[in-house]
Each structure stands twice: as structure tokens, then as C-alpha cells.
Amino acid sequence: MTAAVVDARPSLDWGFLAPGDPAWPDLLGRLPHDLYQLPDYVAVEARRIGAEAMGFWARARDRAFFVPILLRHCPPLGGSGLGHMDAVSPYGYPGPVASPAGRADPAFLGASLAALRAGLRGLGACSLFLRTHPLLDPLPAYLPGPDITQSTSPTVAVDLTLPTEKLWSGTRRGHQSTINKCQRLGQVATIVAYAEGLPHLLPIYAATLARTAADQQYHFDTTYFEGLGRLAANLHIALVRVESGEVAAACLLFECDGIVQAHLGGTDSQFIRQSPFSLLLHHVRLWAKARGNRVLHLGGGVGGGDDAVMRFKTGFSSLTQSYRTIRAVLDARACAALTAARAAELGMTPAELALQGFFPAYRTAAGSSDRR
């Protein structure tokens, strides 16, 4: 759907776009962006969670703002959820993004965010959960309003504009030793096309999820990977093979607008002790740099924590970026009713449910520790 609405502030125009609208890629062509903002990626995510994909845009003169959104029905909750929707970002780092002039204008950004909230309320949404992009986030650090909360966690980025020798010298000595050991053992890292690498990636990723008892949000079905095939021109898979030819590690890479993302990956259980993923990431950064990209983004720890995953990533770069999640209550009465109904289902009070830390609280799963 496409709509153009004039905001109460006369200089600001805004509306929503459907993934098939040519205005979506046209707008992104004039903004810094990543693969997570592309309409095909947002459409894949919409199918995965049973939502409607849309892109919100705002413009004022030379200022532009864009963020992808998934709009979904609230859970029924005994009838409390009927007629209500909520809005969430796709998985990953999907926005918002803005033009240089827009980034430099806090008033424009504030007005754009207010228009987004108003527009979603008009579509029946009672809550909004935004995942930001650590490298492209244009929003000011402080977001006013009692109905908005946010949290931050660090992610790791590799500056690919540095000379190759600087990338190596900035690598933790333990990682250097591991990379050299992998090479002495005859391991070889390569980058292959998505279709070629996917049969190797899927079993390794599945085994990694099982071994680490990963949260359900990290599980993706076959339909998801098939859908990503529409973005094949932007997708690559890094592989590490041992001397026998077996694949010891694999990682799906997104490449878009000078940014390479290590989206998901893992290591075959029988090769864990050799740590082939260290060699994989070393090769990926050299490959990404040679292709003229500016940055390799490795992400953060599990759930944003300062854990072994985060410490492993910081061994490749000391450069960290802030990843924010933003939570906004759009309809306080509806959210309160939904939360009360979900709390009753779980045998809790609404206050006890809120302490679980999940947003929106009415989507808390039994025993959940997720913080979406």
C-alpha cells in the first residue's frame, strides 16, 4: 500500500510503502542503507513471522527518513487482542536510516518518529519495537516521552579502510596464533555463491544451534533460506575446509552499500577445538576489503551480553558500535488490557509479568528470557 499524508507540521510529508512499490528501492538508492532495509529482505521476514511488510518514509525538503516495519495481529488472549496490531522491526539491523541532512536535523528526526508512531496508531498498532543499525542509526541519543524506552549493547565492527597490516596487528595474539595454526593444519577459507554454499551452511548452523541451546529466535526454517535466495546478488557464504575436504565452518554474509554483515554461521562440532571460525573471519575481512567495502560488522554477544561470543569478536577489532532497541507504547489502554490477559494466562500479576523484561509484555512466552 502507498499513502502520502501531510503531517500537522506542514513541511513534513510521510507515508507507508509496500515491498512491491518501486518508490521503496528508489528512496533507498538515495540513502545510506544496508541489506536489512531492502524490500525483499523485509518481505522474507514478514512471511517468517506472519506479518505485513511495509516501509515508513518521511521527507522535508532535502531531509529524508526511512524505516522498514512488520505489522502483525496481536495474540487473541481470550478476545483481548482482537482488533489490535503491533509493529516490530525485522530480525537483524533494519533501520531507521536517514539522509545526511536528515541526520543533522534533530527536529526533523523527532517529527519523523512522531509521524511513524501516529501512522502506526492509525493502522491499529498498540506497540512498536525497533531494532536500530549500529552503523547507520540517525536517531538522537535521547528520545523524549514517557512511553518510549530504549536499551543499548555493544557490537563489533572491523574498519576495512585500515591497511591490511593494521588489521593483522589489531588482532588479538591468541587469534593470530589460532589462525596460523589452522593454516598449518591445511585449512583453507573460501567465499562462494549463496546457492553453492547453502547445503554446507545449513547442517553446520543447525548443529551449532543445538550445541549452544540457542534461543528460538535464532532458528530459521527452509522457507526463510529459500526466500533469501531472491537477494542472492548480495549474499555470499564463507567456508573453511580441512585437508580431507570436509567443511569445518561456514558463515552467511550480507554485502550491501559498502557494509558486509556476518549474518549467521557456525562450526562443525568435530572441529571445535581447532577454531576454524577464526580463520574464516580473518579471510572474510581480507576478502571484503579487497572488494572495496568500508566495514565488516560482526555483531555482538548473545542477547547483547558481554559473553564469550562478544569476547571472541573483539579479538578481531577493538572498534565497537552501539546497538539500540527502542520500545514505544502506542495505545496504553490496549497494551494494559493485553498484558493483564497474558499475565492471567501465566498465573502472574501484570507487575510480575513486566519484570520478565519482554516487550511487549503480552507476548511473553512461558519461561521466556528473550527481550524482544
Summarised one tens digit per residue, pLDDT across range 289-320 is 999 999 999 999 877 667 899 999 999 999 99
Asked if the bond preceding 140 is cis, omega within 30° of 0, the reply is no
- pLDDT value at 5 more than 60: no
Q: Identify whether the C-beta of residue 119 lies closer than 8 Å to the C-beta of residue 14.
A: yes
CA 161 – CA 181 distance, rounded (Å): 27
Name the pTM for this structure.
0.92
CA 149 – CA 69 distance, rounded (Å): 18
pLDDT of residue 371: 42
CA 117 – CA 248 distance, rounded (Å): 46
pLDDT of residue 367: 59
Residues 6+ apart with CB under 8 A from 367: none
Which SS3 state, helix, strand or coil, does residue 155 take? strand
Per-residue pLDDT reduced to its tens digit, 109-160: 999 999 999 999 999 999 999 999 999 999 999 888 779 999 999 999 999 9
Which residues, listed in sequence order, are joined to residue 250 by a DSSP beta bridge?
239, 266
Per-residue pLDDT reduced to its tens digit, 193-242: 999 999 999 999 999 998 988 788 888 988 999 999 999 999 999 999 99
Percentage of the chain with pLDDT > 90?
A: 84
Number of H helices, E strands in the chain: 12, 14
Name the average pLDDT for the chain.
93
Q: What is the largest CA-CA distance in the chain?
A: 67
